[in-house]
Amino acid sequence: MLSTRLLTAFILLTAFLAALFYLPDIFWAVLLLGLTVTAAREWCRLGQFSVGQTVLYMILTTLLGGELLFLVSVVLSKNPADSSMVWFYAASAVFWLLAVPFQLAMNRPIRNIWVLMSIGWLVLLPACLSLYQLRAMDPLLLLGFMGVVWVSDSVAYFIGRAYGKHKLAPRISPGKTWEGVAAALIGVLVYALVWFYSVHKDQALVGWLIPLLLLLAVLGIVGDLYESLLKRQAGVKDSGTILPGHGGVLDRIDALLPVLPVAALAAILFYSTES
């Protein structure tokens, strides 16, 4: 099981890095749309949609996501840091910072199909578009923001497993501990300092980089907890089975879903103040 998990992770990382740095924009957009539609199908599983509702949702997601990616690609071809999508990223930030913590605290399933569809789009589409825009701005910038999640997850897992005693959310995700969270934040703080001193030494940057990366680490944990809540309410272990040893696409990107739109929002605002 561990060998399968490691092999899948290696293949995914290699394929992602190759796509990130070498795929033409049009194929990058197609890849993102494919991942989004696959994640939408898994969202339907977590929401316990019927077969007909799942087919309808996947069709609507394909049309909506494709149209948005086309519009964004046209706009960003002139200015990668264009602020046209700020409102979309801001709506995502409000959702993850306010609505999701409330839902985690209430721990009550949502049954209305139209509400679930709308939430799914608010979860998936901003992340899809931010992946496109951050890559257009700088592939290394996107990789750096994704590194926050990888560092946070890794440190939280190992420290939490070795020293964790106080449960973070026992009814939702019994394996997560406050010790793991604290270690994750310390790990991200070190990561932020390494990023600052190795890439940029602009004092204006450090004023927002460290708080931003710490916020992103917290959001990554929120995203992880949110998917755990949905899986628990649906009575499933994984969102899907497409990735051997890892489950579904949502299982791999749950922490990135809130992180990427907020990262894109911050990057756009920073570039706008610098220009």
Task: Give the pLDDT of the chain (275 residues) as one tens digit per residue.
Answer: 556 777 878 888 899 999 999 999 999 999 999 999 999 999 999 999 999 999 999 999 999 999 999 999 999 988 998 888 999 999 999 999 999 999 999 888 888 999 999 999 999 999 999 999 999 999 999 999 999 999 999 999 899 888 988 899 888 988 899 999 999 999 999 998 888 777 655 566 667 888 999 999 999 999 999 999 999 999 888 888 787 767 889 999 999 999 999 999 999 988 777 65
The whole-number pLDDT of residue 37 equals: 97
The whole-number pLDDT of residue 201 equals: 56
Measured distance CA(29)–CA(117) in Å, rounded: 22
pTM of the model: 0.93
The whole-number pLDDT of residue 109 equals: 84
* Dihedral, 222, 226, 227, 232 alpha carbons, nearest 10: 140
Measured distance CA(40)–CA(61) in Å, rounded: 7
| CA R_g for the chain | 18
Measured distance CA(152)–CA(132) in Å, rounded: 23
What are the contacts of 239-242 at 24+ separation with CB within 8 A? 239/42, 239/43, 239/45, 239/46, 240/38, 240/41, 240/42, 240/45, 242/38
Measured distance CA(242)–CA(28) in Å, rounded: 20
Give the SS3 label for residue 167: strand
> What burial class does residue 6 get, using C-beta atoms within 10 Å of its C-beta: 0-12 exposed, 13-18 middle, 19+ buried?
exposed
Extended beta strands in 71-172, E state: 167-169
49: left (phi over 0), alpha (psi -120 to 50) or beta: beta
How far is residue 73 CA from its own chain's centroid?
20
Under 8 Å between Cβ of 256 and 15: no
Extended beta strands in the chain, E state: 167-169, 173-177
What letter represents residue 68's amino acid?
A: L
The whole-number pLDDT of residue 28 equals: 97
Under 8 Å between Cβ of 242 and 249: yes
The whole-number pLDDT of residue 242 equals: 81
The helix (H) or strand (E) run that includes residue 129 is helix 113-137
Q: Output the CA angle 203-204-207, nearest 5 degrees.
A: 90
User: Which has the closest alpha carbon to 33: 4, 1, 67, 82?
Assistant: 67
